Amino acid sequence: MHIKGWALPAALLAVLGLAGCGDLLGSEDRGVDATALINADADEANWITHGRTYSEQRFSPLDQVNAETVGDLGLTWFADMDTARGQEATPLVIDGKLYLTTAWSKVKAFDAATGETLWEYDPEVPGETAVKACCDVVNRGLAAWGDSLFLGTLDGRLVSLDRESGAVNWEKVTVDQAQAYTVTGAPRVIDGKIIIGNGGAEFGVRGYVAAYDASSGDELWRFYTVPEGNEDESSPDYLKAAAATWNSDVLAGSDAIGGGGTVWDSMAYDPDLDLLYIGVGNGSPWNRAYRSPGEDGTGEGDNLYLSSIVAIRPKTGEYVWHYQTTPGETWDYTATQHMILADMEIDGTRRQVIMQAPKNGFFYVLDRATGEFISAESYIPQNWAEGIDENGRPIFNPETRIDETGQPALVMPGPLGGHNWHPMAFHPGEGLVYIPAFEAATVYAPEANWKPDPARGFNVGFDLGAGDLPPDLGFRREVYGSVKGKLMAWDPVAQEERWTVEFAGPWNGGLLATGGGLVFQGNSSSEFAAYDAASGNKVWSFGAQTGIVAPPITYTVDGEQYVAVLAGWGGAYAITADGGLIESQAPVRNISRLLVFKLGGEAELPPEPELASLPLDPPPSRASAETIALGKGKYARYCAVCHAPGAVGSTLLPDLRRSGALGNRQTWQAVVHDGILKDNGMVAFEGSLTKDEIEAIRAYVIQRANEDKAIEGGGQVARR
C-alpha cells in the first residue's frame, strides 16, 4: 500500500443542551466524538458523517448560496482523480480539510478552500477483485471518529487511517475473501463502533452487518440478515423466526446458497431511540423458485429479512423490529436504498418516521420507534403490485410472479429499480423528499435447470439474455427512449408528487438540499445544476464534461460557503447500457474529478477531450446457429454484468464487439480461459467455462458485431 475520545449518551446530551457549532468538534485531542456526531446538524461549517447527520437528511442550513446569489456560483478549484471508473463517494469535511474516497477504494485529502493535496492512500486492491463486484469498482465514502478515518475496501477490508497523515492505524478483513464478497458502502460510527456491511448477493453470499472497535479493529458483534438453514434452540430468536419463512433444506443443503440479503449501502441512526436502521438487499439467487422452493417447485415464503428495513441496537447487534418492503422478493428489489429520519405531523399527530423509496417503486413512511406501517404509494409506474394493503403488505400482480408462473414477464421497475443507491435529500422547510428516480422495465425469464456457480457468474436464476434487443436500430432507440430519468419532489405526508424535472436519460446523481432554498444534483447529461426547492425551476448549471452520479455536499471555510461534488460516470447502469442510443443525449464518458464551487469562483476546466469512435470491423460470422445460441446463454450469465446485455458495450469498459482479441481464438482463450488480464479485472473463467463454451461466446459476440455493423453505419457510436 502507498501513503502519499470520549462519548455521552443521547439523553444526557439533550439535558446538557450542548452548545454552539464552534465547540462541536472539540479540541484536537478529542477529535470527532459522540457529541459532534449527535449534534452535527448544528455544525454548519463541516460535513462529518455520510448523510451530514445521523438522520441522513442531506440538508444543510447554509444559505449564502441561494436563489438570488446562485448565479454568481463558479468553479473555484478541481482535482483530477487517477481512476477512470464510477465515482460515488460523499466527501467529508472536517476543520477546513476535505477527505474522499474514489473508485478502487483509494483515499485523498485536500485543503477544502484551496484544493492543495494533503495526502493520498492506496489500499492496493487486487485487480481481480473487480469480477466480484456486480456494479463497478466504486466506493461511497468514509467515516470519522477521533482523529481517524475509516474505509471499507472493495476486497472486504476495514482500514483505519490517521486523519492528519493518511498513515494506516490498523486494518481488518471483514469478509471471507474466498467468497464473492465486496465492500462499496460507507461505514458509520456510533459511540466508537464502526458499522459496516458488504455486497455480493448476486454471487451467492450470505449477508450481514458487523461492528468493529474503532481503536483496535476487533469485531464486537455480527448481525446476519438471513438464516443459515440449520437454526436450533441456541440460535437467536430473530433467525429462528426468519428460518420459518425459508426452505431451509436449500439454505443448508449440499448445493447450499448464501441466501443474499447483503447490507451494501444505507444506514441511519436515531440516538434518542438508540436504534440503528439497516437496509437489507435482494435474495440469492433472485429467482425465489430456486432460492426457496415449495413442494410444487414454485417459490414459497417471505424469506426474511430480505428487502427489509431492520432496526437493531448498535451496542449489541440485538434485533428490535423489521418491516419487509417486498415479501418473497424475486426481482432484485432491494431495500438498501437511502433512508431518511424526520419528525412530521401526520393525521394531526406528531410522528417519528423513517422514509425510504426502495427499488420496488413505492415510497414508504414507517414509525421508526416501532416499525409500524404508516403509508406507501407508488412514486413511479410499476406493475408488480396492485397496491399496498392496510397491513403494509403488497397486493401482488400474479402475472409478474415469475417465480410462481415459471413464465417470462415484462416487469416495471426492473432490477435497477425506480430508485437505486443515489441518495435522496429532505428539506424540512418545504417538507419534501427529493428522489433521483427513473423508469425502466425488464423482461424476467426463468432459466431452466439453473444451478449455482460458486466460482464465477451472475447467480440469479434468470436468463439474462431474454431481454436482448433485436438488430434494429430504430427499435433499440425507441426502447432506450422509453427509459426515463427524473428528479422528483415528493410530499411524504400526502404521498404525492409535488413537482418533477425530466432528464434525457436515467442514472442521475444523488442530492443535496440547502437553507438557501436550493436542491443540487448532477446528471447523466454531464451537467451539475441547482433547482428551486419549492418549484423545481432550474436556476443554475455547470457543464461538468462527465456524467455525475455522486451526491454533492456543502461546507464553509472562514465563513465562505463551498459546494462540492465528485464527478465521474459509472455504476451498474453506466457499465451495461448503450448510452449512444439515447438520441437526446451524447454518449456519456468518464472524466473523474472533484469539482468545488463558491460565489465568485473563476476557475475553468481544461478543454474536453474527444471521445474516440472505434469502428466495428469484426471477422465474418461462420459459426453454427447451435454454437451461437450456446454462446448467447453463457455470455448472458458470465459476461453481461460487465460487458452489457447483448454485447452492446459501454463507454466505460472494453466493448467486446470491437476487441482486438475477437478475431484471434488463441488470444480470446488466453484472456477468458487463462486470465492473462486478471490484474485489469478480467480473471480466468477456467473453472466455470470450458474452452468450447468460451469459443461459443466468441462466436456469439462476432455475430452480434456483424449485426450491429450493419445498423450502426460504420461505427458512429463512440466507444473505448
Pairing of strands 97-101, 107-111: antiparallel
CA nearest to 289, candidates 279, 277, 303, 268: 303
DSSP per-residue string spanning 401-452 = -HHHH-S-EEESS-TT-SS-SS--EEETTTTEEEEEEEE--EEE-BPTT---
The candidate with the shortest Cα–Cα distance to 79, out of 107, 55, 49, 54, is 107
Q: Of 332, 578, 655, 708, which is the active-site residue? A: 332
Partners of 160 in beta bridges: 150, 170
| Maximum CA extent, the chain | 79
State yes or no: cis peptide before 319, omega within 30 of 0: no
CA distances from 236 to 241, 250, 620 (A): 9, 20, 60
DSSP 210: E
The distance of Cα 141 from the centroid of its chain, to the nearest Å, equals 12
Is residue 679 among the annotated active site residues? no
Grid cell, residue 383, equals 406493475
Cβ contact 91:566 at 8 Å: yes
Residue 232 CB contacts under 8 Å (≥ 6 apart), including other chains: none
| C-alpha span between 365 and 347 (Å, rounded) | 13
* Cβ atoms 496, 513 nearer than 8 A: no
Q: Which amino acid is at 704?
A: R
Q: Which of 265, 305, 249 is nearest to 282 (CA)?
A: 305
The Cβ of residue 62 has, within 10 Å, a number of other Cβ atoms equal to 19
Cα 686 from Cα 675, distance rounded (Å): 8
Phi, psi of 35 (to 5 degrees): -60, -50
| Catalytic residue IDs | 332
